[in-house]
C-alpha cells in the first residue's frame, strides 16, 4: 500500500513510522509529508531513505492511506484535499473528532462502525483511548452509569518543546518553555485551555469522546487532567459506577480477555502498571483493581499506556489495519 505520513518529522509522526515498521504494515511506498521547511529531508524507514515532500506533492501521488499528525488547522485544510483525491485519512488531531459526520474510532471498541465510504476517520484523544479500551468489556457486562477519571499525563503529550523544557530544568538550563510554570518536581493541573464551565479542553475531550466512542450518551463522565514530569506514558485513576453489581474475579477475567489489555495487579508483590514499563509498548496496562467501598457497584482501576503509541500512533495504524483486513481499502484503489 502507498502510505503517506503527514507530520512525519514530529513526535507522533516519527512514532507512526516506528509502529508501521514494527507491525509489518504492508507499505510498498512511503510518502513522508511535512512543512515546506522540511522538504527534501531524509526519513529512514525499514533501512531505506525517503525524501520529505510537501502536502501538494503527496496529494498528487494519490496515497491509499494518509496518517495525519500535524495539528488541527492543518488537518482541517488538508484532510479534505487528500480525501477528494481518493485517499483514506486517519487523523490524530482534534479537528474531526466531534464532527457528527466523521467516525471516532478505537479498534478494540468500535471498529465495526467503519465503512468504505469513510474517507476521514478521527483518532481519539490519547487519554480517552486508553480509558475506553478498559471500559468497553465492563460496560458490556455491567452497564456503566458514571466515570470519574483523574489523569497523570506525560510531557510527551505536549510535544518536543515540553520534553526539552523538562530536560533543561533538570540540567539547570534556562531554555524555551512549553508550560507557564516549571514542570520538573511539579505537577500542573491544566492541560489545554480553560473553557467557560471551568474545565479544560482536554477534560471536555475525555467526556465527549467517551460518549461518542462507546455509543452511549447515558454514561456520565467527569475528568481532571494533570501534567506530570514523566516521559514514558499517561496514567489514569478511574472510578466506575455500574448499574449492576460485579464480581472482582470476573472483572479481572473480562479485562484479561480484552484485546489490547494487560492486567498487572499483584499488590502482594508490589506489581502494578507504571509509565516506565508502558514506554514503547502498544498495550494498555491495568492494575490496582479494587472495589470502591464508599458506595455500591463501584470499581477503582489504575490504567497506564504509552500516549505516543496506543494513545496516538498505534491506534491510527490499527485503524488502517482494520480497513485493510476488512477490504474497506485496498492497494491502489478504494473498494
Whether residue 148 is found in the same domain as residue 283: yes
Residue 335 counted as domain residue: no
pLDDT of residue 179: 98
Whether residue 320 is found in the same domain as residue 248: no
Q: In Å, what is the CA distance from 246 to each residue of 149, 169, 191, 249, 259? A: 20, 46, 33, 9, 21
CATH number at residue 237: 3.30.360.10
Whether residue 131 is found in the same domain as residue 250: yes
Q: Which long-range contacts (CB under 8 A, 24 or more apart) does 77-85 make?
A: 78/6, 79/120, 80/120, 81/55, 82/4, 82/6, 82/58, 83/119, 83/120, 85/59, 85/60
Which pLDDT band, with edges at 50, 70 and 90, does 299 fall under?
very high
**What is the arithmetic mean of pLDDT over 74-95?**
97
| pLDDT tens-digit series, residues 33-47 | 999 889 999 999 999
Residue 255 counted as domain residue: yes
Query: Do the bridges between strand 144-153 and strand 103-104 make them parallel or antiparallel, or are there none, so unpaired?
Result: unpaired
- Tell me what the pLDDT averaged over the chain comes to: 96
Whether residue 151 is found in the same domain as residue 90: no
Cβ(26)–Cβ(20) below 8 Å: no
Domain containing 116 equals: 2-124+312-325
Residues classed as catalytic: 126, 234
**Number of domains making up the chain:** 2
Burial of 292 (0-12, 13-18, 19+ CB in 10 A): middle
Crossing angle for the helix pair 126-142 and 201-214, nearest 10 degrees? 40
DSSP, residue by residue, 56-74: HHHHHT--SEEEE-S-HHH
> SS3 of 332, please?
coil
Whether residue 184 is found in the same domain as residue 294: yes
| pLDDT tens-digit series, residues 95-147 | 999 999 999 999 999 999 999 999 999 999 999 999 999 999 999 999 999 99
Q: Is the pLDDT of residue 335 over 50?
A: no
Residue 334 counted as domain residue: no
Copy the grid coordinates of residue 114: 467503519
Residue 79 counted as domain residue: yes
Whether residue 146 is found in the same domain as residue 205: yes
Which pLDDT band, with edges at 50, 70 and 90, does 331 fall under?
low
| pLDDT tens-digit series, residues 157-211 | 999 999 999 999 999 999 999 999 999 999 999 999 999 999 999 999 999 999 9
Amino acid at each position: 500500500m502507498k502510505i503517506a505520513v503527514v507530520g512525519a518529522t514530529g513526535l507522533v509522526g516519527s512514532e507512526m513510522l516506528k509502529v508501521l515498521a514494527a507491525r509489518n504494515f504492508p507499505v510498498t511506498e512511503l510518502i513522508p509529508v511535512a512543512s515546506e521547511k522540511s522538504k527534501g529531508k531524509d526519513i529512514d524507514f525499514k533501512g531505506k531513505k525517503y525524501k520529505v515532500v510537501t502536502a501538494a506533492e503527496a496529494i498528487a501521488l494519490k496515497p491509499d492511506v494518509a496518517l495525519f499528525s500535524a495539528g488541527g488547522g492543518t488537518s482541517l485544510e488538508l484532510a479534505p484535499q487528500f480525501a477528494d483525491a481518493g485517499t483514506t485519512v486517519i487523523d490524530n488531531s482534534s479537528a474531526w473528532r466531534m464532527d457528527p459526520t466523521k467516525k471516532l474510532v478505537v479498534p478494540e471498541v468500535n471498529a465495526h462502525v467503519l465503512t468504505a465510504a469513510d474517507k476521514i476517520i478521527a483518532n481519539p484523544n490519547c487519554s480517552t483511548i486508553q480509558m475506553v479500551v478498559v471500559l468497553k468489556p465492563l460496560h458490556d457486562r455491567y452497564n456503566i452509569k458514571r466515570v470519574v477519571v483523574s489523569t497523570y499525563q506525560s510531557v510527551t503529550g505536549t510535544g518536543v518543546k515540553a520534553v526539552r523544557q523538562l530536560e533543561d530544568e533538570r540540567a539547570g538550563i534556562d531554555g524555551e518553555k512549553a508550560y507557564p510554570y516549571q514542570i520538573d518536581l511539579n505537577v500542573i493541573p491544566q492541560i489545554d485551555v480553560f473553557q467557560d464551565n471551568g474545565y479544560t479542553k482536554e477534560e471536555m475531550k475525555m467526556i465527549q469522546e467517551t460518549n461518542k466512542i462507546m455509543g452511549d450518551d447515558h454514561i456520565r463522565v467527569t475528568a481532571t487532567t494533570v501534567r506530570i514530569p514523566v516521559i514514558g506514558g499517561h496514567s489514569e485513576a478511574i472510578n466506575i459506577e455500574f448499574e449492576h453489581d460485579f464480581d472482582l474475579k470476573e472483572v479481572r477475567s473480562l479485562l484479561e480477555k480484552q484485546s489490547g489489555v494487560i492486567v498487572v495487579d499483584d499488590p502482594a508483590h508490589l506489581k502494578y502498571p507504571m509509565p516506565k514499563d508502558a514506554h514503547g509498548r502498544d498495550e494498555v496496562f491495568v492494575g490496582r483493581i479494587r472495589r470502591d467501598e464508599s458506595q455500591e457497584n463501584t470499581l477503582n482501576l489504575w490504567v497506564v499506556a504509552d500516549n505516543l503509541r496506543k494513545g496516538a500512533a498505534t491506534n491510527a495504524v490499527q485503524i488502517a489495519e482494520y480497513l485493510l483486513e476488512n477490504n474497506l481499502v485496498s492497494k491502489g484503489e478504494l473498494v
